[in-house]
């Protein structure tokens, strides 16, 4: 089965066991620190997968609205860093929510974190396009001046 570059990127981050372990460890650390009842890995994995689903859906829209060069290694590295940071933020927000008397549905937290970090990816892609356009204009000006 063929995976699009977008799907490969999402899978490379969210299917990486290290990133799930990071999520689990942040949750466990906050559970211990704040005396929260332990959540077992199976339930944590479900919440983690909800974040992945939210990202996949929003990222699909982003890649339709923005031309992302999946061959640009630097850009993909930066997007990957943003995705990993979103996992850490989700772990923190998810754990903090568990301490509240009126808890939010974890899916809402996943959706909000996804929106925030998708926005960061869109800003990165816009800036990348501007830098590319500026460098192209500069090259044209240099050619005209010679």
Q: What is the pLDDT of residue 119?
A: 96
Say which DSSP state 1 is in: -
For the question of whether the overall pTM of this predicted structure is more than 0.85, the answer is no
Axis crossing angle, helix 41-65 with helix 73-98, rounded to the nearest 10: 140
Number of domains into which the chain is organized: 1
Residue 101: is its pLDDT beyond 60? yes
Provide the token pair at 71: 């061959």
- CA distances 91 to 25, 46, 51, 77, Å, are 9, 13, 10, 21
> d(Cα 47, Cα 107) in Å, to the nearest integer?
7
- Structural domain including 16 reads 5-145
**Cα separation of 120 and 98, whole Å?**
26
pLDDT in tens, 49-79: 999 999 999 999 998 888 889 999 999 999 9
């Amino acid at each position: 089965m063929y995976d699009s570059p977008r799907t490969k990127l999402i899978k490379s981050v969210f299917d990486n066991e290290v990133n799930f372990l990071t999520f689990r460890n942040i949750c466990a650390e906050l559970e211990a620190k704040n005396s929260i009842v332990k959540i077992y890995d199976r339930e944590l994995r479900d919440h983690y997968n909800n974040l992945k689903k939210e990202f996949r859906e929003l990222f699909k829209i982003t890649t339709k609205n923005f031309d992302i060069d999946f061959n640009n290694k630097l850009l993909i590295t930066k997007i990957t860093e943003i995705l990993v940071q979103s996992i850490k933020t989700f772990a923190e927000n998810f754990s903090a929510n568990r301490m509240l008397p009126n808890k939010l549905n974890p899916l809402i937290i996943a959706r909000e974190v996804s929106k925030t970090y998708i926005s960061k990816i869109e800003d990165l892609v816009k800036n990348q396009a501007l830098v590319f356009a500026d460098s192209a204009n500069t090259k044209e000006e240099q050619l005209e001046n010679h």
